[in-house]
Amino acid sequence: MAKNNVDLTSKEWRDMIFADKNKEFGAYQLRKQSDRRHNMAVLYTLIGLVVVFILLIAYNKYSDYAAEKRALEAKEQAEKMSQAIIEQEPDVVEEEPEEQKFEQPEIEVPQEVLATVQVTQIAIVDADKVKNEVMDMDTQKEDNTARGVVNQEGSDDADKFKAVQEQVVVKEPEPEVKPKEDEIFVAVEQRAEFPGGMAALMKYLGSHIHYPEAATQNDVQGKVVLQFVVEKDGSIGAVTVLKGLDRDCDKEAIRVVKSMPKWQPGKNNGVPVRSYFQLPVTFRLN
């Protein structure tokens, strides 16, 4: 009777199965080597799991280390940049503008005296001692003269006397702010103008520009944009090139602008001022 618990991998079981068979047959050899294969497979599996586990731990450690390193480098970089900005920015102390104090001029108020008529005091005296004539009430109502304790010469205008007494001061107008002598305006109320207007200006440029020979040979065409200052007397000053085309063309445009006659200067409040003017000069071959 067979045992209940049979080890199918044991040598006894293998010999019993192949008792009457040719043991040189391949199945017997395979069965014989199966134990070793199974053990090696289990061993390799365990080794593989251990290697994978170690690699996972190493990868996590490396990720944490790389993240900490990047954070530390970013922090150091930020500190360096902030330090550089602090070093580049000079300590600027804003000076508070001096407070302009306008002292109110003292106005001497002339002393104004109101003309009054002495009010007669009622008293019982002898007839020969009466000095002032007694005025009845109806006469006083019709008379506009101011009443006082004494007779006094002065102004008959009571409103003027009241204004003087209250010392009414009329505010003086603020001084007009005049532009600086050397200030150059970008925008003015009345723009500077070439004598005869823009049509005359274009005609002048067309008749005075000499196309540079090198620009003609190289087929150079386009615009040179200039900026210059129209002085108070209409003369041209400080010519600069805002947009160039060619070295020779730029020089020719500057030459022609400087040779222009005097302009009508720009004006603010009817007063001539220095102002900027931008002028495009076109070079085109026929």
Least confident window among 83-97, 130-144, 208-222: 83-97
Res 140: pLDDT? 59
Instruction: Please tell me what DSSP assigns to residue 146.
Output: E
pLDDT tens for 238-263 read 899 999 999 999 999 999 999 999 99
For CA atoms 242, 243, 249, 253, the dihedral sign is negative
Q: Give the separation between CA 226 and CA 208, rounded to whole angstroms.
A: 16
- Residues 254 and 239: beta-carbon distance below 8 Å: yes
Res 55: pLDDT? 93
**Tokens representing 89?**
């920015």
The owner of tokens 């450690």 is 61
- Residues 18 and 28: beta-carbon distance below 8 Å: yes
Task: Name the CATH topology of 184-283.
Answer: TolA/TonB C-terminal domain (3.30.2420)
pLDDT of 157 > 80? The answer is no
Q: Give the separation between CA 227 and CA 277, rounded to whole angstroms.
A: 6
In DSSP terms, which residues pair with 184 in a beta bridge? 274
Average pLDDT taken over every residue of the chain? 75
Instruction: Please tell me what DSSP assigns to residue 4.
Output: S
Res 74: pLDDT? 83
Alpha-carbon separation of residue 270 from 54, 190, 232 (angstroms): 91, 8, 12
Q: Give the separation between CA 45 and CA 279, rounded to whole angstroms.
A: 87
Q: How many CB atoms lie within 10 A of CB 263?
A: 20
For CA atoms 50, 52, 55, 56, the dihedral sign is negative
Q: Where are the domains of the chain?
A: 11-71, 116-166, 184-283
Least confident window among 51-65, 67-81, 102-116, 189-203: 102-116
Residue 226: closest CA among 250, 209, 199: 250
Question: Which residue did the predictor score with more confidence, 221 or 34?
Answer: 221
Res 110: pLDDT? 56
Least confident window among 59-73, 139-153, 248-262: 139-153
Q: Give the separation between CA 272 and CA 188, rounded to whole angstroms.
A: 10
CB < 8 Å & 24+ apart, contacts of 240-246: 242/278, 245/220, 245/283, 246/212, 246/214, 246/215, 246/218, 246/220, 246/222, 246/283
* pLDDT band, very low/low/confident/very high, at 92 (cuts 50, 70, 90): very low
The H-or-E segment that residue 147 falls in is: strand 146-148
**Tokens representing 158?**
């009571």
